[in-house]
Amino acid sequence: MRIVAHCILAAGTLAVLAATSHAAERVTLSNGFEMRCDHHARVGTRVRLYLSAGENNYIELRPEEIASFEQIPDPPAQQAPPSAHASSSDAKLNPGDLREMLAEAGHEHNLDVDLLASLVKAESSGNARAVSRAGARGLMQLMPATAAGLGVADSFKPDENVNGGSTYLDELLTRYHENLAMALAAYNAGPAAVDRYHGIPPYHETRAYVARVIHEFNRRVLAREAQARQGSAAKVSPGSTPGR
């Protein structure tokens, strides 16, 4: 199993990353990257993108770095496309089936199954037909362009989505030298943003996402290790001598 860097983050680091913001505008940058903000304003020669409803949390960009703004409507949090005919029971996989699917993808890409499970929980809570406001789809929330580049024909098919998302995470971990925090930031905000800021971008949504996935991954690993210790202890019956 590959070793990912910076898996266990200190509580203080997680707290810093965990700040969240509500986005009401989609911002398309000149380099093609998209991000979300609550609102924006022109301040002097710069444009401020406010990451929350107040005026304290923002980043500043040059006007030429921004291609367009678009208001984000408030649709239901999860919605299926009109062509979907799956029943509600199809939307959430059986936990055992999902675990098996993640285990197969983890084996293929040398990724910890608990890491993939943590990402799926953060992205879709296991809803195979989840659609984000930005248009990301399925269990691992693949954007249509990303899915196409990964060879995913239908993001609502759980196996295709998991294989595509696992391939993408594998590529990002390789790109960022097994640094899990940076790979997750790139999964959420795009590699261009991570490269631009030489680390986790100062987007509240991205920092909260990284903290959430790593916290869940740590929790699962610790629970797995505790269960393994209990299993080992149970094999040694009272009064017996291990190794004999």
pLDDT of 88 > 60? The answer is no
Place of tokens 């923002």: 58
pLDDT digits (tens, 9 = 90+) for 126-135: 999 999 988 9
pTM of the entire predicted model: 0.65
Residue-wise pLDDT for 22-46, tens only, equals 446 888 888 777 777 778 889 899 9
Residue-wise pLDDT for 212-233, tens only, equals 999 999 999 999 898 888 877 7
Angstrom distance (rounded) from CA 155 to CA 68 = 27
Catalytic residue among 65, 100, 123, 205: 123
Q: How confident is the model at residue 118 (pLDDT cuts 50, 70, 90)?
A: very high
pLDDT at 71: 74
Name the pLDDT band for 72 (thresholds 50, 70, 90): low
pLDDT of residue 69: 84
| pLDDT value, residue 58 | 80
Would you call 70 a catalytic residue per the annotation? no
| CA-to-CA dists, residue 5 to 2, 174, 176, 223, angstroms | 10, 11, 10, 20
How far does CA 110 lie from the centroid of its chain?
Answer: 18
Of 195, 161, 164, 163, whose CA–CA distance to 179 is shortest? 195
Domains of the chain, first to last? 1-21+88-231 (1.10.530.10), 24-71 (2.30.30)
- Angle of CA points 77, 81, 85, to nearest 5°: 115
Q: Which pLDDT score is estimated for 3? A: 58
